[in-house]
Structure 1
Amino acid sequence: MSNDVFAGLDWAVHTHAVCIIDAAGAVLDRFEVAHDRDGLAELKRRLLRHGPRLRIAIERPSGLIVDALVEAGHEVFPIHPNAVKASRPRYRSHGAKSDASDAYLLADLLRTDGHRWRALAQQSDDIRALRALVRSRDDLVAARVAAANQLTATLQAFWPGAACIFADVASPIGLAFLRRYPSPRSARRLTEAQLQRFCKVQHYSGRRSAEDLLSRLRAAAPGRVGEHTEQAMADVVRAHVAVLVPIVGQITDLTRRIEQFMHSLPDGLLMMSFPRAGQVCAAQILAELGDVRERFPSADLLAAEAGAVPVTYQSGKTRSVAFRWACNHRLRQAITCLADNSRHANDWARSTYQAARARGCDHTHAIRILARAWLRVIWRAWTDRKPYDPALHGGLAKLALTGGG
């Protein structure tokens, strides 16, 4: 590795600005490459002129450009955009920004403060595949929620009953109902027997009878729209349903693929061994955690990455503790989901949560405290490559001895 050469890459959608400097901070090379096949090939050639293995700073920890650099044998150091933004006043007093200047800033930060960051370690192909599946599913779930909210708002405006007849308007049976009955007029003559047959065809598994469902539909506030408006709104409902149906189907398919994949991975079985981790939540944690053990040499580093510990500000006699915003948000969401689920199946988790609530913490704060506690256990199991064993869980054993829970 060339210890006296540092590179900074300011990435963008179409072009990337690159700056290469020496140990004294002098610019050795500065150029831009396009984000295409030829551009990436040119990037590798220009970097190779300064050594076979360079240290390169970039503002993102993943993506095609990062994969290309790591596969080429370079050490890639992701630097958080907040750190880059806070460092700009060191180089210029004005507020102007350019890709070229940020590329130099990244390279120089790596030269002067490189000991503060860790180089990316390439994850296995299995983890990269799992991460692609999990993140794509998460994005589709977010799209489903947004589309379902739009559909609900549309129904509330002219037919509230259809929004509440089933628990979830975007469930398969809820969408099937709206596809068949998109307006009050279309369901005006709907009978209990017809609704019962519909539910049977759709394999409705809810506990409400057709009579109860029909009562919910009829009891809702009636819409107050004209005939032409109702027809237009029905067309809008059909459009929303047409968007939601394939999204819901793809989420189901991806969920099935993730579940199958998790059972084929040793670390997948490890992560699913935790109480109420399930398969999707365990996959979300593993996808962000990865399989490179050197990435998190301590549980504290993992907790900071997951945003499960606060940030302390102290100056003189002033001291404050604030929520940690800069973290891996996907990992935080997954680990808090595990923590929330676990308190319903694990005595130690329930006791930890209740103790936090007794100290005056609200629900979300107590869940983060429990998540922080679980991260210590997860880190140890992940580091030792051993599934969760309640018999080896010191906190659970201590709780059993004291008769708690």
Structure 2
Amino acid sequence: MKVTCGIDWSEKHHDVALLDQDGKLIARKRILDDAAGWKALLELFAAHGDTPQEPIPVAIETGRGLLVACLRATGRKVYAINPLAVARYRERHTVARSKSDHADAMTLANILRVDAAHHRPLPTDSELVQAIAVLARAQQDAVWNRQQLANQLRSLLREYFPAALKAFQVKNIGLTSREARAVLALAPTPARAAKLTKPRIIAALRRTGRERNLQAWADRLHSIFREEQMRQLPMVEDAFGKQALALLRQTDAACQAADELAQATSEVFHQHPDARIVTSFPGLADLTGARILAEIGDDRERFADARRLKAYAGSAPITRASGKSTVVHHRKVKNQRLAAAGYVWAFASLQAAGPRAHYDHRRNVGDRHSSAQRNTFNRMLGCLFHCLRTGTPYDEQQAFGPRLAAAA
């Protein structure tokens, strides 16, 4: 690389440093985080040999934001360097622990100058898969937020209204269900719940869209709410009820956001040509498939082989060997979103014969549930890498043929 660029990013301004191949500083500039700053950065690049055929590569400590998006749109290589790695590189040049924005920009440029081969540039994903990533991650965040609110509501109800928890401990029915939210909105306290009549319960359930077993539901809830139970003092109980109503309003908004984002994610996901291959795998439906594709991307050169992808997802084990000591354990540094989606994928895939046979084999050789499931995810991820590279859908006989024969 003849010229390398390092950008120390911040919310309001960015420090830019350009180094030549000998490590000499040839330009430095502070630009604002706006269109004028972007224009100034392009002019700085052009003045030092930047061309469409040989764009100047850039190292920066983040992989998101408008500046990164604009840099990627120019077709240049953009390296998102972990801030911890930057701190370690900084210690190569100074032991005084001095730090400045300009020095960090020079450190980033030096990383590219001497160690670019050891860092991976941001993938050249298509616009469509980038849109899928935005929606899939937003939907995943909405689901996590919904569950967090449900946990808060469960803890609150345990303080003063345990009968509500008993009422909705039903398969596929929880505190985030429409039925639970509708009934609790009518009766957030034990006193108000005890006064609910069966017709009012049926009316509330019908407003949620439920049409079956209304009378059975009403009889069950009416019986539970009228059972003898421990109670808080009246004023304290009313205060808890108001807090529960506030949490219910937040939960309603989180549930609505998760549902709307799920629909939007599914619509965009099916526009991608890789959706056909991804959804051919057992356990991968629209949402889980969109999350997997969002984190993998559609840049076929991003991962040199399946082992790189497995390490990125955290499904491949890591070995620490020193002297006579050798320890193999799971990875902690990984793409957390991909690992979370992989856990759901591996669990759902156990309904198919091939993944189930592989999981049972791992359990029989002594793996715990989490280890066997992670190993199943590791195997499925390798199959997905092969199918995406070759453009072929999932074939269970090719993926788990020997294991299926052994299980039979």
Answer yes or no: same fold by TM over 0.5.
Answer: yes
Please point out which of 163, 185, 188 is paired with 2:194.
188
> How far is 1:84 from its partner?
2.2
Higher mean C-alpha displacement, 377-386 vs 356-365 = 356-365
Whole-angstrom CA distance in 1 between matches of 2:383 and 2:201: 50
Whole-angstrom CA distance in 1 between matches of 2:296 and 2:263: 21
Note the aligned Cα RMSD (angstroms): 2.2
TM-score normalized with structure 2 length: 0.90
> How far is 1:218 from its partner?
4.3
Higher mean C-alpha displacement, 204-213 vs 35-44 = 204-213
Q: What are the equivalent positions in structure 2 for 1:146-295 lying under 5 Å apart?
A: 146-166=148-168, 167-204=173-210, 209-219=217-227, 221-227=229-235, 229-295=236-302
Please point out which of 66, 69, 72 is paired with 1:70.
72
Higher mean C-alpha displacement, 254-263 vs 377-386 = 254-263
> How far is 1:96 from its partner?
4.1
Q: Which sections of structure 1, spanning at least 5 residues, go unmatched?
A: none
Whole-angstrom CA distance in 2 between matches of 1:41 and 1:388: 47
Whole-angstrom CA distance in 2 between matches of 1:287 and 1:223: 49
Higher mean C-alpha displacement, 230-239 vs 67-76 = 230-239
Query: Which position in structure 1 is the counterpart of 2:29?
Result: 31
- Check the 8 A contact 1:259/1:279 in 2, yes or no: yes
Whole-angstrom CA distance in 2 between matches of 1:106 and 1:273: 42
Please state whether the residue corresponding to 1:296 is helix, strand or coil: coil
Query: Which position in structure 1 is the counterpart of 2:102?
Result: 100
Residue identity matched to 1:195: I
Residue identity matched to 1:248: C
Query: Which position in structure 2 is the counterpart of 1:383?
Result: 389
Whole-angstrom CA distance in 2 between matches of 1:164 and 1:283: 35
Change (3 A) 1:355 1:390: closer
Tell me the number of residue pairs that the alignment of Structure 1 and Structure 2 aligns: 398
Whole-angstrom CA distance in 1 between matches of 2:227 and 2:391: 56
Please state whether the residue corresponding to 1:266 is helix, strand or coil: coil
> How far is 1:111 from its partner?
0.7
Deviations 1:168-214 (A, max 9, x none): 21222222122211222222212344323432332337876333333
> How far is 1:394 from its partner?
4.2
Change (3 A) 1:231 1:400: closer
TM-score normalized with structure 1 length: 0.91
Please point out which of 68, 79, 82 is paired with 2:81.
79
Residue identity matched to 1:317: K
Please point out which of 60, 63, 84 is paired with 1:61.
63
Change (3 A) 1:191 1:144: same
> How far is 1:129 from its partner?
1.0
Query: Which position in structure 2 is the counterpart of 1:352?
Result: 358
Whole-angstrom CA distance in 1 between matches of 2:111 and 2:349: 42
Higher mean C-alpha displacement, 164-173 vs 206-215 = 206-215
Deviations 1:372-397 (A, max 9, x none): 11111000001112221234x242x2
Change (3 A) 1:116 1:219: farther
Whole-angstrom CA distance in 2 between matches of 1:272 and 1:184: 46
Whole-angstrom CA distance in 2 between matches of 1:44 and 1:64: 15
- Check the 8 A contact 1:262/1:269 in 2, yes or no: no
Whole-angstrom CA distance in 1 between matches of 2:201 and 2:217: 9
Change (3 A) 1:371 1:123: same
Query: Which position in structure 2 is the counterpart of 1:19?
Result: 17
- The sequence identity of aligned pairs, in percent, is 30
Please state whether the residue corresponding to 1:224 is helix, strand or coil: coil
Please point out which of 7, 10, 29 is paired with 2:8.
10
Q: Which sections of structure 2, spanning at least 5 residues, go unmatched?
A: none
- Check the 8 A contact 2:283/2:347 in 1, yes or no: no
Change (3 A) 1:161 1:95: farther
Please state whether the residue corresponding to 1:157 is helix, strand or coil: helix
> How far is 1:306 from its partner?
0.7
Whole-angstrom CA distance in 2 between matches of 1:175 and 1:97: 52
